[in-house]
Amino acid sequence: MFNSKSPFFHCPLVELQLSKRNLDLAWLSTAPSITTYRVNLLQTTTERYKNDIKSLLEERYENPPKIYTLSNIPEVLCIGTLPISQTVNPSVEEHREVIVDSCCGAALLRGAHIYAVGVLAMESGTKLHDMVNVYADLTGKCKKGTNVRFESNKKMYIGQGRVLMQRYQLFTGPQPKAGVAVEMLNTISGVPSIGDLSSFKALLQNLPSIVCVRVLNPQKNETILDMCAAPGNKTTHIAELMQDEGLIVALDKTFNRTTLIEEKIKKYKLNSINAFTYDATKAVDIKLNSRSSNDIKPPFKPETFDRILLDAPCSALGNRPILAVKATTKMLDSYPRIQRKLITNAVALLKPGGCLVYSTCSVTISENEEIVAWALTKHLELELEEAIPILGSKAWPCQGLSERQRSMLQRFCCDTKQYDTVGFFIAKFVKKRK
Ligand SMILES: C[S@@+](CC[C@H](N)C(=O)[O-])C[C@H]1O[C@@H](n2cnc3c(N)ncnc32)[C@H](O)[C@@H]1O
């Protein structure tokens, strides 16, 4: 059986590139031990939401995980992992098996259930409510609908679940099927398998993403740009912190993803967000002053926004657990180019004195520290400000960044001791007044 000490790399060159950069690959392949919800303080209180989750966990587990709040970010609710005794080992002979792909496997290790679309293989004869062993196929070779045991030395044991949909429901008739096919009971990560409990009251969101919007520090009645906004998780957080008063313009290049922002605006009943499908690398209006300032839609006049969040498209190499890396070196090299273009647009759109937060969910230096060093050289009107509140660790050494500058940045990575969360990077710049 495959013993996953590091992700399975489809491209050896990427593996070499990442291991040369001192990245702890074993860390990348394990799930974070904290699950976090961002409570919508416009709808409920963290205490009330904590009690709801507590009851649910007590119902499900004899020894439920710890639930706690953070004093400096009151909207955060953290859920710990289950005691080791409640995590599982495969009992291969006893149970039939279900196979999922590496992405689904990663989601299961973070507490998800298996949806019908996620099942690649289920052995013949598996009955409703049977207990099954769940494995992730790291090679991408398991065919949808497989009905025999999938023999591979690169399948990773994930945990055990209970069957809610049988083969005939999953693989016959019109596709794709909806609904939960296997309810996970326990996994090797110890993260409680409670699915995604997101609602208008609270959103399942990684801790660094919550910190990122706190670093932006949006204020009531400001005009804010969220440049790469879909599905709108940070946009809605910005609106909540502004008490839904002011204007947030949310852009995303992809129409289907912009609709996800619109769905969230409706679900949360927010009035302050305007979403547009627009390429943010072309967001600056070259025909200056062509519109009245009340008409804020892309492309924008320079110096329109008080604050800008650039949660940039990236390689997502911080999205733990990564069970299989499919990225190629060409793909990895393409991100810094677009990240630099987006920063240049953001600088033009920011008012003097305004702030720009740059973030990625990647752990590579080329998408993080090197981008900051480049921005400070290329745009002399930018200076770094401390990315507070700091919950991560300081940035990694990089040519062009002083020790002091590194400590103003925030990196969530294998060397972050206090919070075992996903990999992430946050930089805060201020545009100097003229
Ligand atoms: C990291 S995700 C953003 C996540 C989002 N901020 C959140 O917290 O929900 C990056 C997004 O950038 C979008 N994107 C990529 N290139 C873009 C561009 N040139 N202009 C605008 N959006 C872009 C992608 O479609 C993707 O939705």
Dump pLDDT digits (tens) for 357-367: 999 999 999 99
How far is the centre of ligand 1, averaged over its atoms, from the C-alpha of 218 (Å)? 19
Q: Which two tokens stand for residue 99?
A: 């196979």
Per-residue model confidence as pLDDT tens digits over 296-339: 899 999 999 999 999 999 999 999 999 998 888 898 899 999 99
Matching residue, tokens 């398991």: 142
Which amino acid residue places its CA nearest to atom 6 of ligand 1? 229
- Residue 48 CB contacts under 8 Å (≥ 6 apart), including other chains: none
Per-residue model confidence as pLDDT tens digits over 237-285: 999 999 999 999 999 999 999 999 999 999 999 999 999 999 999 999 9
| Coil/strand/helix, residue 300 | strand
DSSP 51: H
- Pick the closest to residue 235 from 207, 271, 281 (CA basis): 271
- Candidate from 206, 207, 212, 252 with most ligand 1 atoms within 8 A of CB, to mutate: 252
For ligand 1, residues with CB inside 6 Å are 209, 228-234, 251-254, 257, 279-281, 311, 313
- Pick the closest to residue 40 from 225, 235, 319, 195 (CA basis): 235
| Coil/strand/helix, residue 272 | coil
- Pick the closest to residue 110 from 23, 188, 211, 54 (CA basis): 188
For 118, the enclosing helix (H) or strand (E) is none
The ipTM assigned to this model is 0.99
Mean pLDDT for the stretch of residues 58-77: 95
Task: Give the whole-angstrom CA distance, residue 413 versus residue 404.
Answer: 19
DSSP 116: G
DSSP 372: H
Percent of the chain clearing pLDDT 90 (strictly above): 83
Task: Give the whole-angstrom CA distance, residue 258 versus residue 218.
Answer: 22
- Pick the closest to residue 32 from 205, 202, 257 (CA basis): 205
Q: Nearest 5 degrees, angle CA 206-CA 207-CA 208?
A: 95
Beta strands at 223-226 and 114-115: parallel, antiparallel or unpaired: unpaired
How far is the centre of ligand 1, averaged over its atoms, from the C-alpha of 228 (Å)? 4
Which amino acid residue places its CA nearest to atom 12 of ligand 1? 228
DSSP 284: B
Q: Give me the helix-helix angle, 369-378 and 329-349, nearest 10°.
A: 40
The band of 1, judged by pLDDT with boundaries at 50, 70 and 90, is: very low
Domains, the chain: 97-187 (2.30.130.10), 206-431 (3.40.50.150)
Percent of the chain clearing pLDDT 70 (strictly above): 95
Per-residue model confidence as pLDDT tens digits over 327-380: 888 988 999 999 999 999 999 999 999 999 999 999 999 999 999 999 999 999
- Considering the candidates 361, 398, 413, 414, report the single residue annotated as catalytic: 361
Task: Give the whole-angstrom CA distance, residue 324 versus residue 139.
Answer: 8
Check if 361 is active-site. yes
Contact yes or no for 101/120 (Cβ under 8 A): yes
Task: Give the whole-angstrom CA distance, residue 88 versus residue 14.
Answer: 32
Mean pLDDT of the chain: 93
Matching residue, tokens 């912190």: 241
Which pTM value belongs to this model?
A: 0.95
